[in-house]
């Protein structure tokens, strides 16, 4: 008998402890339920930090790692769960860190490895993930491998793409092996006297392309991934992946693009890049990286694929038997919608559909509004559209990617030719630099109204601070009753609700001027985001246009800061048959179920 009772008690104890462990696992530290079944890159917003421009702790006018660490509380409070760090590796800064002289070190301008580890710990302590920029296509010409390769020192001789000249011109100058062009304009080949050969560079001459047909190079770069994984990073954003391979036969020319977007034969757009982009071997290398990452739990790989046919982009997801990246960046909102006149309800719907309809079964979408290579959202579409577009990308199904400063609606900064830093701008000269320079979107983060927007305690900054910093800054927006920042934070919190994480999506009203997204899930709240894409005020009867049954009224949850009407103060009830939206407005509504 006593035996039986003891077994019974043991069984009850075991049962209770299983329940206890399960409850603890399901509850996060803050007591909220976590979606343990989702990997982190599906649960979180990815926030891109451009290290030169977030925060300067040293007072030298350039942002650094300690500066970023000092803003860890800001990042947590913002509600973004993943920080992607643009390159912080040792670099001569010809392309501001995308020219790397040591893939496993830290650039002294940004700090030390100890500073990096402190940043990682600060983020992890706050429940944030950290992704590094991985730049596999090229190194700096100051990388030890290239220095040795130039001297034909083994095993580095073939670490880069070297080629014999096609011949010599009348003045005895060597002629490049083919017509391939650099993304940054001009020939992609540079002559090296020492080797009497050309080397290939898809970007600057200071960024020689690595040779991925060399097994040792592949192994070296996998070791780079392993190095950072061992340091505890949570994944990688892979730079310029489409350029990884080029045709093996270097005697072949690329065809002239037709129709051509340019008549400048030195402009990258002059050629059709059939031999230097998206070569089939690329995917096997991405697969090798995937295998490296998968030896560690919950690691992410996002790849940068720009300007390609949608079918090409989608290949980077891989498939069930050969999974590749977790996602290639979705740049369609940048590529298809270049300015405000492109922004219509129909265009938004087409752009969103284009991604979702082409995405392989079971894969995860993502939405990118901007980054360090494209103008600020407020400048491309108008400051009045900032909130609506943040609402859109944060509430659609999938992972949003936010570039630092977009949460406060920073706009492009005018940079004079004298102040221009970006090599892409510099190479086009004083007449045309503004069409190509990426400096305007890279200026220092605007923290407060003190000198240099609180970015530095020093007396200069690497790029000028935007003149509007006294009005557009974090501190002012935290104090204001309604602001871009407050809207962003509310969205970041709201998107954790079931209706957004697992809910369905519908687009009840899509017209030239209006775009709308509905998120709903049986047993949970239903939300409707309505956007006025036009530059004028719009009064709309949603019932008249809707392709689903909508209730008569809804409660306002969030509205763009430009809407100051008494009738749309959050909490107000509005009639869906007579909704008034100011230009560029986003209005997020909670649909009231009919009794």
Enumerate binding residues for ligand GLC (CB under 6 A): 95, 98, 135, 203, 239-240, 304, 372-373
Q: Kindly state the smallest distance separating residue 207's Cβ from ligand GLC, in Å.
A: 6
**Which of residues 203 and 436 has its CB atom nearest to ligand GLC in the complex?**
203
| 64: Cβ contacts below 8 Å, ≥ 6 apart | 51, 55, 56, 57, 58, 109, 110, 111, 115
Q: Kindly state the smallest distance separating residue 370's Cβ from ligand GLC, in Å.
A: 12
| 513: Cβ contacts below 8 Å, ≥ 6 apart | 344, 345, 532, 533, 534, 538, 540
**Which of residues 197 and 330 has its CB atom nearest to ligand GLC in the complex?**
330
**Which of residues 200 and 527 has its CB atom nearest to ligand GLC in the complex?**
200
Residue with tokens 């501001």: 96
Q: Single out the residue of 548, 558, 543, 545 nearest to residue 590, CA to CA.
A: 558
SS3 letters across 84-120: EECCCCCCCCCCCCCCCCCCCCCCCCCCCHHHHHHHH
Answer for the pair 117, 231: CB distance below 8 angstroms, yes or no.
Answer: yes
Tokens of 471: 């009005």
Give the CB-nearest residue to ligand GLC: 98
Q: How far is Cα 469 from Cα 307, in angstroms, rounded to an integer? A: 33
Q: Kindly state the smallest distance separating residue 292's Cβ from ligand GLC, in Å.
A: 21
β-strands 579-581, 514-520 pairing: unpaired
**Which of residues 240 and 301 has its CB atom nearest to ligand GLC in the complex?**
240
- Using CA atoms, how far residue 485 sits from 372, 392, 438, 582, in Å, is 20, 15, 24, 19
Q: Kindly state the smallest distance separating residue 304's Cβ from ligand GLC, in Å.
A: 6
**Which of residues 240 and 303 has its CB atom nearest to ligand GLC in the complex?**
240
**Which of residues 95 and 254 has its CB atom nearest to ligand GLC in the complex?**
95
Q: How far is Cα 485 from Cα 473, in angstroms, rounded to an integer? A: 9
Q: Kindly state the smallest distance separating residue 52's Cβ from ligand GLC, in Å.
A: 12
Contacts for 219-222 with beta carbons within 8 Å, 24 or more apart? 220/145, 221/103, 221/136, 222/288, 222/289, 222/292
Rounded to 5 degrees, what are φ and ψ at 315?
A: -60, -25
3-state SS class at 242:
helix
Q: Given 3-state DSSP classes, what are the helix, strand and coil percentages for the chain, each rounded to the nearest 5?
A: 35, 15, 50
**Which of residues 145 and 488 has its CB atom nearest to ligand GLC in the complex?**
145
**Which of residues 463 and 589 has its CB atom nearest to ligand GLC in the complex?**
463
Specify which residues 130 forms β-bridges with. 83
Question: Which residues are the active-site residues?
Answer: 239, 304
Give the strands of the sheet with 46-49, arranged side by side.
327-328, 300-303, 235-238, 129-134, 82-85, 46-49, 399-403, 366-368
Q: Kindly state the smallest distance separating residue 483's Cβ from ligand GLC, in Å.
A: 29
Q: Kindly state the smallest distance separating residue 141's Cβ from ligand GLC, in Å.
A: 13
Strands (E), 202-331: 235-238, 300-303, 327-328
Answer for the pair 201, 183: CB distance below 8 angstroms, yes or no.
Answer: no
**Which of residues 99 and 234 has its CB atom nearest to ligand GLC in the complex?**
99
Q: Kindly state the smallest distance separating residue 404's Cβ from ligand GLC, in Å.
A: 14
Residue with tokens 């509310």: 490
Helix (H) or strand (E) holding 352: helix 345-358
Answer for the pair 401, 46: CB distance below 8 angstroms, yes or no.
Answer: yes
Q: Kindly state the smallest distance separating residue 393's Cβ from ligand GLC, in Å.
A: 19
């Amino acid at each position: 008998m006593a035996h039986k009772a003891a077994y019974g008690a043991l069984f009850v104890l075991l049962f209770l402890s299983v329940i206890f462990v399960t409850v603890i696992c399901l509850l996060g530290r803050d007591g909220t339920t976590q979606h343990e079944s989702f990997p982190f890159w599906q649960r979180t917003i990815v926030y891109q930090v451009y290290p030169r421009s977030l925060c300067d702790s040293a007072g030298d006018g350039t942002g650094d790692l300690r500066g970023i660490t000092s803003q860890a509380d800001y990042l947590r409070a913002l509600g973004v769960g993943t920080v992607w760090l643009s390159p912080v590796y040792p670099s001569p800064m010809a392309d501001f860190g995308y020219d790397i002289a040591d893939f496993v070190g830290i650039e002294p301008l940004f700090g030390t490895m100890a500073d990096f580890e402190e940043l990682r710990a600060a983020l992890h302590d706050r429940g944030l993930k950290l992704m590094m920029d991985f730049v596999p296509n090229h190194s700096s010409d100051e990388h030890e491998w290239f220095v040795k390769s130039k001297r034909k020192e083994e095993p580095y001789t073939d670490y880069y793409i070297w080629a014999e000249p096609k011949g010599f011109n009348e003045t005895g100058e060597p002629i490049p092996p083919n017509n391939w062009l650099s993304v940054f304009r001009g020939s992609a080949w540079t002559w090296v006297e020492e080797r009497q050969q050309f080397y290939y560079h898809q970007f600057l001459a200071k960024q020689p392309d690595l040779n991925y047909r060399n097994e040792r190079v592949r192994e070296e770069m996998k070791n780079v991934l392993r190095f950072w994984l061992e340091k505890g990073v949570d994944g990688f954003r892979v730079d310029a992946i489409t350029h990884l391979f080029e045709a093996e036969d270097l005697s072949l020319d690329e065809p002239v693009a037709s129709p051509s977007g340019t008549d400048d034969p030195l402009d990258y757009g002059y050629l059709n890049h059939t031999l230097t982009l998206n070569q089939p071997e690329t995917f096997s290398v991405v697969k090798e990286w995937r295998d490296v990452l998968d030896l560690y739990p919950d690691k992410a790989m996002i790849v940068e694929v720009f300007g390609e046919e949608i079918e090409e982009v989608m290949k980077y997801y891989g498939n069930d038997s050969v999974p590749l990246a977790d996602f290639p960046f979705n740049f369609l909102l940048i590529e298809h919608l270049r300015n405000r006149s492109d922004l219509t309800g129909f265009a938004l719907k087409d752009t969103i559909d284009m991604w979702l309809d082409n995405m392989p079964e079971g894969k995860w979408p993502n939405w990118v509004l901007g980054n360090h290579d494209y103008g600020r959202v407020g400048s491309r579409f108008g400051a009045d559209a900032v909130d609506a577009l943040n609402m859109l990308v944060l509430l659609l199904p999938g992972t949003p990617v936010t570039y630092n400063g977009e949460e406060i609606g920073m706009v492009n900064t005018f940079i004079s030719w004298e102040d221009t830093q970006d090599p892409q701008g510099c190479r086009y000269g004083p007449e045309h630099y503004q069409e190509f320079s990426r400096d305007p979107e890279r200026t220092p983060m605007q923290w407060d109204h003190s000198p240099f927007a609180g970015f530095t305690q020093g007396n200069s900054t690497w790029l000028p601070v935007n003149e509007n910093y006294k009005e557009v800054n974090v501190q002012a927006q935290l104090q204001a009753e309604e602001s871009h920042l407050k809207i962003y934070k509310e969205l970041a919190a709201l998107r954790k609700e079931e209706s957004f994480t697992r809910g369905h999506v519908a687009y009840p009203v899509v017209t030239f001027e209006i775009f709308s997204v509905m998120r709903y899930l049986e047993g949970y709240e239903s939300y409707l985001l309505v956007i006025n894409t036009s530059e004028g005020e719009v009064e709309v009867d949603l019932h008249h246009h809707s392709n689903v049954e909508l209730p008569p009224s809804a409660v306002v949850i969030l509205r763009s800061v430009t809407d100051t009407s008494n009738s749309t103060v959050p909490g107000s009830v509005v009639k869906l048959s007579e909704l008034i939206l100011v230009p560029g407005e986003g209005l997020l509504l909670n649909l009231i179920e009919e009794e």
